[in-house]
Amino acid sequence: MIMLAKTRRTYMQNNKPLWFGQTKRWYDSNRWRRVASAHKNQYPLCEICLKLGIERPVAVTDHIIPHNGDYALFWDWDNLQSLCATCHGLKRAVEHGGHMPGCDVDGNPLDDSHWWNKT
């Protein structure tokens, strides 16, 4: 138990991962503002809604693979996608163990981890 508590203190601070403060600086940087606005210009519509045949404007520039403090993943242009506020909220829920509801226009589940997409 004592060992566990020690490990936890090493990686967490105020219930946030240690990289949290670092990535806040990345998000606050002029570089991120430039990258995010360039990405929004190139992809002005929510990419998940587009799969549903809905055109909804982007609200959030999202990291497809969560960067978890990884510098390369954070700045990887190909790891960015445009999402509306609703889809971003759903994706966050999925990352915390939920499932992405709904299907695209072809009837394929939007959730990549759905068994239908495993075949």
Binding residues for Zn ion (CB under 5 A): 46, 48-49, 84, 87
Read out DSSP for 55-91? --B--EEEESS--TT-HHHHH-GGGEEEE-HHHHHHH
Nearest approach, Cβ of residue 76 and Zn ion (Å): 21
For residue 91, which of 118, 51, 69, 64 has the smallest C-alpha distance? Answer: 64
Nearest approach, Cβ of residue 84 and Zn ion (Å): 3
Give the span between the Cα atoms of 49 and 88, in whole angstroms.
11
Identity of the residue, 28 or 112, whose beta carbon is nearer to Zn ion in the bound complex: 112
Nearest approach, Cβ of residue 6 and Zn ion (Å): 42
Identity of the residue, 53 or 107, whose beta carbon is nearer to Zn ion in the bound complex: 53
Nearest approach, Cβ of residue 31 and Zn ion (Å): 26
User: Residue 49 corresponds to which tokens in the numbers above?
Assistant: 């809604």
Identity of the residue, 20 or 45, whose beta carbon is nearer to Zn ion in the bound complex: 45
Identity of the residue, 35 or 45, whose beta carbon is nearer to Zn ion in the bound complex: 45
CA 67, distance to chain mean position in Å, is 8
